[in-house]
Chains A and B, each alone.
Chain A
Amino acid sequence: MASLGTFTLLAAFVISAYAAAAAIAGARRASRSLVDSAVGAFYLVAALLTVGTAVIIHAFVTNDYSIKYVQHYSDSVQPFIYKLTSYWGGLDGSIMFWVFLLAVFGSTAVYVNRERHRELMPYVVAIISVVQMFFLFLMVIHKNPFDTFLVTAPTEGRGLNPLLQNAYMAIHPPSLYVGFVGMTIPYAFGMAALITGHLDDSWLRAVRRWTMVSWLFLSFGLTLGMIWAYEVLGWGGYWGWDPVENAGLLPWLTATAFLHSVMVQERRGMLRVWNVALVIVTFFLTIFGTFMTRSGVVQSVHAFGEDRQLAWMFTGFMVVILTFSFGYVIYRLPLLRGRHELDSWVSREAAFLANNWILLFAALFVLFATMFPTISEALTGERLTVGPPFFNKWMLPIGLALLFLTGVGPLLAWRKSTVKNLREQFLWPALIAVAMPVALAFAGIPFWAPGLCFALCAFVGVTVVQEFVRGAAVRKQGTGTDYFTAMVGLIARSKRRYGGYIVHLGIVLMFLGFTGEAFKIDEQLILKPGQQAQVGHFVIRNDGVRVTDDGQKQMITGHLTVFRDGKELDKAYPGKWLYRHHEQEPVSQVAIRRSVAEDLYIVMPGFELQDQSVSLQIVINPLVDWIWVGFGVLAFGTMLALLPEQVLGYAAAKLPAPASISMLVLMLVLMGAPARAQHVESPAFKPVEPKSALEKDLYRSIICMCGTCGRQLVGECTCGYAAEMRAEIGNLVKMGLTRDQVLQYYIKKYGSQEPLAMPVDRGFNRLAWLLPYMLGTGGLLVIGFAALKWSRHPSNPVTTAAPAPAAPSTEAADKELEARLDDELRDLD
């Protein structure tokens, strides 16, 4: 079977080359037979890779350890589902899975668009085929997943990494990969439009839906990654700004920018170069993200390890992409000139411009900060860390600015907003937004940043509600139906617009969840059997440790009882699982007690079987579940926007009214519930030793240096090394060392700035601190300059846009056409 697998890869490579060659030759020679043959070849590549996929899955399922990849990433005791997911558990298989998804996704896109955009199809086929060729080339010459052992095949496999044996990990990579490969489709259409010169807006419409699908999968993948990090890695958080997480976020940011700026081109004929550039950049970032993950240029807990040969191949491919793509953009600049100018800074297009600038700034910042340790090591030889505090410092204001624009954008008019417009649209959202922080201040919530975030969430929430209410009112007036029918009809008629508003609502809920981070409580303690401790308003009691085994792994489980207000609330069972062949990599099993207001999150980093004591990390995460709810709302909104036009057209009345408002109200009520501390008198009560502000600050400023946990903050990492470092920090603080002295101590100890979560602002590292300012200022200047240039043009839109005077002979025909147009508009809902 391995030979058949290798054959499919080799054949797919050759057929991809044929598809690219025949498509271009067919397009150039206007030969339909060649083009159709190329399309057939394109489908054949997908079919061959499906055969290859079937072969490798068969090998996993039947424990065929003659194949090295199968032996490295599975074993006989692995559950069936994880034998399937082992397919993408390693580098070789993940490349194959990638190209398989690309082939299937690409074939679907070509099949769906074969009639609508036939003029672009040959080039779309050629470009996707070339991308496929690259990934197939990697496997053909370097990373063949069907490679067999030459001498003696082992009788047992090494097993999949235990961290990947998780339900979320079964879905997370495919989802992220679909999001990544999906971005190839817009790129292929964009480049086909550039090559053919068909640069009107039709290619945008072809790709908008595909971008939305990919964006949804990327969002889904990123959220699943967050849930996985939260539930499996066991450090109490969900986003650690790990390079591999960032690799998924980068194209998500630029794709979000594209989904907004595409509306400006559709409505106003502006930002045409910008949109093409965003499509190219998004695709490039998907390849760059793959390069980061697979070449080992960045250190990450998720990365596949260092591979210089692969790094060079990716570098070459990326250079080709950039040169070819932007070369064509420059060549086609005359066809890409905007048709209209920016009429006013107080307009929706200006808001989109700002939104795009901020999203691109965020992407550049994340890219730069992720790569900075590599750049620094290459230039200065010093290894350092750019950890979560550095990212959060910048991404917090960026996120808030985006949230603000999420609310402002829909309220502004296209072209220009008048004072009357502004007053009518902004009155209620602004009032609520101002009232919210004032009310929160009375509840003791600081303005920066939780208060401001809550205010902006309220602002956007009211904006969205207002859009629905007013839209329904207008429709009710126009159609004469009742309010509910008007609301359903409104959504059914403008699925993209109102789906987008629901997405905004999802974003608001996610921001509420992020804000909960400001109220997080995190404690580490050791409990002997029968001993209990209070964390926040919960009391945790240790009832002992049990050891069980299911053949695949040994499970050590802590048995805990959770009390609140003196009453038993629940049992909690945090654990450590030791998988066969991976005994050195114990996996934490987190006990999470969820509620709408907060999660009680318990990890058991250590245990002592002899005296049944447990070492616990207990985290109270307020509002965190709203992130997942928010994603659900976001996905619902995106799917609504993705529905074909005909759907809901006749069955609109069956659609339930969105429950978002009630959720928001519930959220606001829950937010107001004060967290009450409770003291439990007990002889076995173990008080949690309060940590000083300095100690807590240092926990967030120093990373764990165990070398395996992936640059987690020492306050969050649950490994034994981090516990030792925390104890060490505690001693240093007790000795009276200042923050700087402690940091210097660690620099001296490890001989570099690597233990610091943020590089020290001096020497070459100053670049890391200056670049965001430079990027921001530079971007502002460029956009400001461009916008000023547009707005200085003498604008006489009515005359410029009006059709040229018709010749007398065609006037009658035009009138007839106008009348037909009016008829059709009347028939259209």
Chain B
Amino acid sequence: MSSETSTRRAKHVQEPVDDTVPGFQPWHLFVIGTLIASAGAAVAVRGTGPANVVFVCLTVMTAGVASYALYRMLWPLVHPDAVDAPEMLGGRTRAALEREKTLALRAIKELEFDRAMGKVSESDWQEMTARLRSRAVRVIRQLDSGSAAYRELIERELAARGAAVPKSASENRASEAGARSAAKLLVVAIACGGILLSSAARAQMGGVGGIAGMPDAKAMSGIPRPEGALATGTVSVRLVRGQLSNLVVGHPVEFIANGKSESVKTDETGHAVINGLAAGSTVHVVATMEGERLDSQDFQVPPQGGVVLMLVASDKTAADQMVKTAVAGTVTIGGQSRIVTQFEDDVLQVYYLLDIVNAAQAPVKTDPLVFDLPPGAQNATVLEGSAPNATAKGSTVTVTGPFPPGVTGVQIAYSLPPAARVSIRQKLPAAMGQVVVMAEKAGTMVVSSAQLTTIREGNESGKSFVLGAGPSLKAGDILAVDIGGLPHHPVWPRNTALALGALALAAGAWAALRTGGRSAATAARQQLEGRREQVFGELLRLDQRQKAGQTAGEAADDRRGELVGELERIYGELDTGATGLRGEGD
């Protein structure tokens, strides 16, 4: 038989087909079901606009496709016997080998063409074509191995087996049984997930947003402001260090205008002024103080009046001075401090607006004030405008001393993951004069705490707040506030899906590793041998029935031909399995 004509399409697992009802395929049922469901959906949403009707129908149709795919996934597990294998030759399908042969033939023709075009020398052509021919012959031989060469052997074997009853096929299906147990485990995982997930149809996954920044005092630095009182073309810059009253005198400030740079020193009022700039010219102001570069925004000189701006440098000298003069002592969290919560971007934002009070006349040195934020706190940050010695790292905020006399402002912000109820447990590193909690109301929010003696609701600027206040707390006490009734998306559907995914992978790994010491090749061989016994059994029974005159005719002959064909394939596979093309070269 020519290898060209040897292409024989084996019965594949295209569809899990029931041979007894050849006219009706399972997918027909799904098509009909989908069409009925789509029609039903169209009726249900009629009158809601054509776009809605069309897309609802489309969604229902895609769901129908998904149902069929689910059937395709489950069918081989429920009916493993219905899975019919494609013809495998030496570990490769017949189709793959046929293609391999065609490609080898094409490559030979291509090489001949190259030779005719003078693109390859005679000796090279001979060498290359010999190799390609050798490859093509090998593939043809392999293709042939799956054909009638085994027919004689099969007939001999069949005769030898006589009327003996074949062994139970189930004995030879150990590997399938093992595989099915693994499959069942996976199915259980999926089934659980399906039930849980489907009951979670109304559930949503959560998300965490960022914390919005708040304006700070230093944000004024570098922002130009038109000043009608100044002469036209005048720009006045005020240079301060730390506080507005801490003027910097005699320090150079650079004005860059239209490519021209001019340096002016600040006067005794801390101002550096430049005059005579052309209206419309772009100006940029820069000053550098102790390595800190202070930039203005770019701005244009207005046609009338001048511009004023301020550059604010960090006050390092004052800080140094304070360290030197600081004495040991304590600080408290002042009574004006607030704990504010706001439901924003679907997360609960918590702000500690703290006044650290040093009641002494001199700077006070203390141990650092450490705020270990409540469990689950995310995106902890110290807001701009806080004292520079406050830092956030992970979920810990540390404020180091010394503290100047009076009030040092520290604003801490963090978010808590969305949940129906959140608990804020905050250990206080210093005594708190009064507990004040302000919670912007969202949904059916309820604030409760044993430490809040009064809790009431109020309105401010059209927003509802829950305000709670309580007596002072000592350093080391834990401030405990619970906020319930928060809007939230349940996280259990997400966690269930993640758990099921992990379970499926773990079960897969278990099933993949527990092959009982058999390699896939051995398993395949055993499976083939098992199948051989099965087919021989059926063939024998068929022959017996034919001999007994119970069955006859074309159908029986066809069935016999099919069974013999399958045996040929199995023998071919058993013979060539060890000499396949794995890693083989040309």
A interface vs B, CB < 8 Å?
1-4, 6-7, 10-11, 13-18, 20-22, 24-34, 36-37, 39-41, 43-44, 46-48, 50-51, 53-55, 57-58, 61-62, 80, 114-119, 133, 140-144, 146-151, 196-200, 202, 205, 266-267, 269, 335, 339, 413-416, 418, 420-421, 424-425, 470-471, 474-475, 477-478, 494, 497, 645, 724, 728, 731-732, 735, 737, 742, 745, 748-749, 751, 797-798, 801-803, 814, 817-818, 820-821, 823-825, 827-829
Contacts and interface: CB of A to CB of B under 8 A. Distances in A.
Contact of B93 (A25, A115, A416): A115
B243 to A, nearest CB: 25
B182 A150 contact: no
A61 B133 CA distance: 60
B66 A50 contact: yes
A504 to B, nearest CB: 16
Given A37-B77, A40-B75, A14 B118 contact: no
A34 B182 contact: yes
Contact of A30 (B119, B127, B284, B527): B527
B65 A14 contact: no
26 contacts: A3-B202, A10-B496, A21-B512, A29-B175, A29-B523, A31-B183, A34-B183, A40-B76, A43-B72, A54-B55, A115-B93, A116-B95, A151-B443, A199-B583, A267-B128, A414-B124, A415-B121, A415-B124, A416-B124, A421-B118, A735-B259, A749-B286, A751-B293, A798-B130, A803-B134, A824-B2
Contact of A200 (B49, B204, B508, B584): B584
Contacts of A645: 102, 106
B201 A724 contact: no
B140 A29 contact: no
A192 to B, nearest CB: 13
A33 B76 contact: yes
B487 interface: yes
Contact of B127 (A16, A198, A797): A797
A803 B134 CA distance: 7
Given A62-B51, A151-B487, A199-B583, A27 B202 contact: no
Overall SS of chain B's interface: helix
Contact of A41 (B12, B73, B497): B73
Contacts of B74: 37, 40
A2 B205 CA distance: 11
A142 B491 CA distance: 12
B370 interface: no
B515 A820 contact: no
A829 B110 CA distance: 10
Contacts of B488: 150
Given A47-B69, A54-B62, A198 B103 contact: no
Contact of A150 (B58, B65, B489, B586): B489
B127 A798 contact: yes
A17 B207 contact: no
A478 B505 contact: no
A797 to B, nearest CB: 5
B76 A36 contact: yes
Given A32-B83, A825-B105, A415 B120 contact: yes
A34 B108 contact: no
A150 B124 CA distance: 74
A117 B141 CA distance: 19
B376 interface: no
A323 to B, nearest CB: 18
A186 B417 CA distance: 41
Given A62-B49, A202-B100, 8 more contacts: A14-B190, A14-B193, A40-B75, A43-B69, A51-B66, A117-B93, A199-B583, A801-B131
A-B CB proximity, top 5 nearest: A21-B508, A31-B179, A40-B73, A40-B72, A25-B511
B186 A824 contact: no
B161 interface: no
A119 to B, nearest CB: 6
A144 B66 contact: no
Contact of B346 (A149, A735, A797): A149
B166 interface: no
B494 interface: yes
Contact of A470 (B117, B141, B442, B498): B117
A821 B179 contact: no
B494 A141 contact: yes
Nearest to B134: A803
Given A22-B186, A40-B75, A140-B494, A7 B501 contact: no
B544 interface: no
Given A26-B179, A118-B86, A821 B137 contact: yes
A820 B117 contact: no
A818 B52 contact: no
Contact of A6 (B205, B293, B504): B205
A6 B134 CA distance: 56
A570 to B, nearest CB: 36
A147 B489 contact: yes
A163 to B, nearest CB: 24
B39 to A, nearest CB: 17
B581 to A, nearest CB: 5
B38 to A, nearest CB: 12
Given A25-B511, A413-B121, A200 B583 contact: yes
B284 A749 contact: yes
A4 B197 CA distance: 10
A814 B205 contact: no
Interface in B365-397: none
Interface in B258-303: 258-261, 282, 284, 286, 293, 295
A706 to B, nearest CB: 10
A146 B204 contact: yes
Nearest to A55: B59
B508 A11 contact: no
A399 B498 CA distance: 48
B91 interface: yes
Interface in B425-447: 442-443
A494 B110 contact: yes
A425 B65 contact: no
Given A751-B295, A798-B127, A817-B141, A14 B51 contact: no
Contacts of B258: 728, 731-732
A478 B113 CA distance: 10
Given A4-B201, A25-B179, A418-B121, A197 B583 contact: yes
B59 A414 contact: no
Nearest to A827: B4
A151 B442 CA distance: 7
Given A29-B179, A34-B183, A745 B497 contact: no
Given A28-B515, A728-B258, A147 B205 contact: yes
A474 B113 CA distance: 8
A33 B183 contact: yes
Nearest to A347: B124
Contacts of A474: 113, 116-117
